[in-house]
Amino acid sequence: MIKVAVCGAYGKMGKEVCAAVEADSSMSLAAKIDLCGDAYRTIEEAKQSCKFDVLVDFTQPASIYENAKYCLRNGINVVIGTTGLKDDEIAFLEKLSKENHIGCLIAPNFSTGAVLMMMFSKLAAKYFDNAEIIELHHNQKKDAPSGTAIKTALMMSEAKETFKKGNCPEVETVKGSRGGTSYSDIQIHSVRMPGYIASQEVIFGSSGQIFKIRHDSMDRTCYMPGVLMAIRHVADQKDFVYGLENIMD
């Protein structure tokens, strides 16, 4: 039985994680940590009062780096869903994880469907000359483009160095109408709209054909199979992993 603590337990994602852990017969919910409600206020407080094998963090960008360092320095395997870690911070967490032999899995997206969309986009990339990404999110999202769109472009760029744009000199009469340029010159377009949770479409084109790969998150339960997979992985392997695609077989 894997004992799990959830940090950010009363947030939108944290509540789903608590419910998913409680519904899984191979896990038990050992502690809730949050700044509100009847939860432990800090990871340290929870650690002094109860035992857990894995901590799952869905808090906020401002606290994730400190939380993760605390876990990796204090023998707690950690699954990180919180976004906002910088590249140098991720590199340091990798170092701590390896030095201390503590499991650490960071995933910008835990939805298995979204990860497959990225993997399939990488696979398709080498067969098409043109590719553009449209990502669509709820209107409370603070960053644009989404981390998933950037990661998709990065994975596609590993398969193909450059993509074509239009086939003629382009003039933007409305600034920004062609979107933003990312890895391998792939254009990314961001839509913010009430009603969406998270959607993304990757459009590929070449002479005479269009190929589209689309993923829609209808509610936050879509992240839970990936989170449970990550919990099992860090409890068992105690290694460092960045990206859910690396443990999906």
Residue nearest to ligand NAD according to CB distances in the complex: 11
Min dist CB 108 to ligand NAD, Å, is 6
Residues 86, 94: Cα–Cα separation, whole Å: 12
Pairing of strands 2-7, 27-33: parallel
Nearest distance, CB of residue 42 and ligand NAD, angstroms: 7
Per the CB < 8 A criterion, the answer to whether 104 and 135 are in contact is no
Nearest approach, Cβ of 180 to ligand NAD (angstroms)? 20
Q: C-beta of 151: minimal distance to ligand NAD in Å? A: 11
Find the catalytic residue in 122, 137, 151, 233. Answer: 137
Question: At 204, which amino acid appears?
Answer: F
List 3, 141, 165, 238, catalytic entry: 141
Q: 131 vs 198, which CB is nearer to ligand NAD?
A: 198
Nearest residue (CB) to ligand NAD, 223 versus 240: 223
∠ CA 173-189-174, nearest 5°, is 10
Q: Which is nearer to ligand NAD, 29 or 131 (CB)?
A: 29
Residues at the site binding ligand NAD, with contacts judged by CB under 6 A = 7-8, 10-14, 33-36, 58-61, 63, 81-84, 107-110, 223
Report the side by side order of strands in the sheet with 104-106. 27-33, 2-7, 54-57, 77-80, 104-106, 240-242
- 211 alpha carbon, distance to own chain's centre: 25
Please say if 160 is a catalytic residue.
Answer: no
Active site residue 141: yes
Q: How far is the CB of 182 from ligand NAD (least distance, A)?
A: 19
Q: Which residue number, 16 or 132, has a Cβ lying nearer to ligand NAD?
A: 16
Amino acid at 168: C
Beta carbon nearer to ligand NAD, 11 or 103? 11
Contacts of 81 (CB under 8 A, 6+ apart): 13, 17, 56, 57, 58, 107, 110, 223, 227
Give the span between the Cα atoms of 131 and 151, in whole angstroms: 14
Show which residues are catalytic.
137, 141
